[in-house]
Amino acid sequence: MKKNILIVPGDGIGQEVTAVGKKVLDRIAEKFGHEFIYDEALIGHVAIEATGSPLPDETLAKMKASDAVLFGAVGHPKYDNDPSAKVRPEQGLLKMRKELGLYANLRPIKLFDELLGASSIKPEILKGADILFFRELTGDIYFGEKGRKNDGDTAYDVAEYSRYEVERIARKAFDAARTRKKKLCSVDKANVIETSRLWREVVQKIALEYPDVEVEHQFVDATAMLLIKDPKRFDVVVTANLFGDILTDEASQIAGSMGMLASASVGDGTGVYEPIHGSAHDITGKGVANPLASILSAALLLDISFGLKAESDAVINAVDAVLKAGYRTRDIADATTAPENILGTDAMGAKVLEFL
């Protein structure tokens, strides 16, 4: 298979982990006889520094022209404490999602058995947890009108959803539920929020097309509690943009570390694959970032955008084997990890390649 892959490392540790993810793609191409052609593009703070824009037109054009994008992270601490900054790295990410029509963000939360001890949740609660989140990614309060009034003393962000936006993400989640345990949990705040009431109405209607899938509706606050209390009760979860952002950071603890979680953003065109963690400037340049989320994002890319299931499984199995052999990055090490088995970013990447 011949494919064009755009590498977009972005900011902070995005650079370090994406380089490792690319090496894994390279090895897969070599091992399975594919030809992957790479190009690279800028986004986020590095793009602002180079061009003034967090998502240069050239990057967007390259994304649209490629078969898949392997993405790193965006963000820079200098903007975090400067609420008045007009141009921000995150704007590049949001514009990319909108422009590429990436309305469905899949975040699989699966605990590798070897990491049971890495989470702060009790092992007996965690063992066997396996959740697939569908986070809506191009609507909600993220994209509604926002601004200030009363001479800047009042701020507003409008949350908006249209029926078709809920329908298409719901269908994707129902389709996935069919291939798994035939259980779907839709999360909203329909007791208070109008967009949530539309959300629930639409999900109830789509549910009629999937009589074989058991549906439950939960409020977001209760879901936040249940995820920690009994993560195994969930299988496929579908929710709105902001709720999904928050719940998946929480759920990352079920997988031991944010450094383990990959995501796929798909929709109308090119799919984008990225770790759910951010740019982590506190550890940037130290060579200690966990590259496994980027490697697992590459696995999702192979499976979802290219339909290469065996290749994708080979990557996941290699990660599993490395963990079974006792190797850890700092974030997933525990008291039982031998100090010599705690690896940096590149060494962990090299181990995965070795097992591949």
| Catalytic residue ranges | 142, 189, 221, 245, 249
Instruction: Give me the least distance between CB of 241 and Mg ion, in Å please.
Output: 10
Letters for 185-224 (x = contact with ligand IPM by CB under 6 A, - = none) are: ----------------------------------------
Other beta carbons within 10 angstroms of residue 179's beta carbon come to: 9
Of 106 and 206, CB closest to Mg ion: 106
Candidates 67, 90, 214, 320: give the one binding ligand IPM (CB under 6 A): 90
Gap between the Cα atoms of 261 and 284, Å rounded: 18
- 68: nearest Cα among 336, 305, 289: 305
**108 CB-contact burial (10 Å; exposed 0-12 / middle 13-18 / buried 19+):** middle
Shortest Cβ distance from residue 245 to Mg ion (Å)?
A: 4
| Shortest distance (Å) from residue 90 CB to ligand IPM | 4
Give the CB-nearest residue to ligand IPM: 90
Contact pick of 41, 48, 93, 118 for ligand IPM (by CB under 6 A) = 93
Q: Which is nearer to Mg ion, 99 or 245 (CB)?
A: 245
Q: Which does residue 244 touch among ligand IPM, Mg ion, none (CB within 5 to 8 A, set by kind)?
A: none
What is the amino acid identity at position 154? T
Cα atoms in the Cβ-side hemisphere of radius 13 Å centred on 157: 7
To the nearest whole angstrom, how small is the minimum distance from the Cβ of residue 244 to ligand IPM? Answer: 8
φ, ψ dihedrals at 239, nearest 5°? -155, 170
Residues forming the site for Mg ion (CB under 5 A): 245
Q: How far is the CB of 92 from Mg ion (least distance, A)?
A: 15
In whole angstroms, the minimum distance from the beta carbon of 342 to ligand IPM comes to 27
Return the number of the residue (160 or 245) whose C-beta is nearest Mg ion: 245
Minimum CB distance to Mg ion smaller for 138 or for 312: 138
Can you tell me the distance from the alpha carbon of 282 to that of 136, in angstroms, rounded to the nearest whole number?
Answer: 29
Return the number of the residue (263 or 352) whose C-beta is nearest ligand IPM.
263
For ligand IPM, give the closer residue by CB, 91 or 328. 91
The helix/strand/coil state of 143 is coil
Residue closest to 265 by CA, chosen among 142, 93, 131, 145: 93
From candidates 99, 245, 320, 346, binder to ligand IPM by CB under 6 A: 245
Burial of 290 (0-12, 13-18, 19+ CB in 10 A): buried
Least Cα distance to 44 among 67, 70, 72, 68 occurs for: 72
Tokens encoding 160:
């908006």
Task: Give the interface size with ligand IPM as a residue count (CB under 6 A).
Answer: 6
Which residues 6+ apart lie within 8 Å of 267 measured at CB? 100, 101, 102, 103, 104, 137, 138
By CB under 6 A, is residue 108 in contact with ligand IPM?
Answer: no
Are the C-beta atoms of residues 275 and 291 closer than 8 Å to each other?
A: no
| Residue 93 contact among ligand IPM, Mg ion, none, beta carbon within 5 to 8 Å by kind | ligand IPM
Using CB atoms, what's the residue nearest to Mg ion? 245
Which residues make up the interface to ligand IPM (CB under 6 A)? 75, 90, 93, 245, 276, 278
